[in-house]
Structure 1
């Protein structure tokens, strides 16, 4: 988000960058009230929040440096294709489970956004083929 932009007046592109940062924080910390607020209407997002909370509650962890958004393209009135490169991930599903890894790499998503009085929110998230 630019120095002058607030969530109310940020562009869709600025919001998508902020969404990616909040997603990283939510996974590493196990909770993020701001991520939950901006994704409350997104079923796939809520599923991810629940799964991450389960991992942390069971004594597991997620270590992820997030993703770099490399391209954003407006597709429809409210939908954006988003290309990103994900950092590698280390995680444990519980305190007693082994450490597992995702190697990271390129991903593509379609984000469906809605502007509210408080700024953008995510209504849907879908993985797309590269």
Structure 2
């Protein structure tokens, strides 16, 4: 068997080889030259930023969300005498129009209404149409005067239930009927 190098010799050669490769690399790291910085290409300035399409329609409001917004508007209307937004949400609701008319009469005569509105406990679909809703509420107490200098009157507030019927109106709804019911 012919052996030119022993195992020790191979180890010596490997170490020497590793040293001859490592020394220049280490010395290059110790130079005074600044480290090269990688060049990262700049993104083109003409690329558009991702955004929502301008033609996308707003998400439709659920009947329950609308009823909460409408109830909040009813309280605001009674406390301010400004009925325009409430009327816009209730154009076909006779009971709503009558309430708005009454509130306008009070304010035009110098009266007022003070009411913190409804705290809605639940809104449940009633019937198969998904347009009639039983709305259970806790109503805040109400103070009002029908005219300036008129006798202040009040309602105690408390639990109640209302049947609210809505109809589609674009991406939202309209109240078309409102009535108080046994809860």
* TM-score normalised per structure 2: 0.65
- Larger RCO: Structure 1 or Structure 2 (Cα < 8 Å, ≥ 6 residues apart)? 1
Question: What is the aligned counterpart of 1:87 among 126, 129, 140?
Answer: 140
Matched, 1:35 2:86: yes
Secondary structure, counterpart of 1:113 in structure 2: strand
Matched, 1:105 2:158: yes
Matched, 1:48 2:99: yes
Runs ≥4 in structure 1, deviation > 3 angstroms?
Answer: none
1:1-130 alignment to 2 at 5 Å? 9-76=60-127, 77=129, 78-130=131-183
Which residue does the alignment assign to 2:43?
none
Structure with the higher fraction of residues in strand conformation: 1
Structure 1 unaligned regions, length at least 5: 1-5
* TM-score normalised per structure 1: 0.91
Secondary structure, counterpart of 1:50 in structure 2: helix
Aligned length: 124
Between 1:26-35 and 1:103-112, the stretch displaced more is 26-35
Between 1:37-46 and 1:27-36, the stretch displaced more is 27-36
| 1:24-68 alpha-carbon deviations (Å, 9 max, x no partner) | 011011123221111010000000000000000000000111110
CA distance in 2, matches of 1:114, 1:91: 31
CA distance in 1, matches of 2:101, 2:73: 15
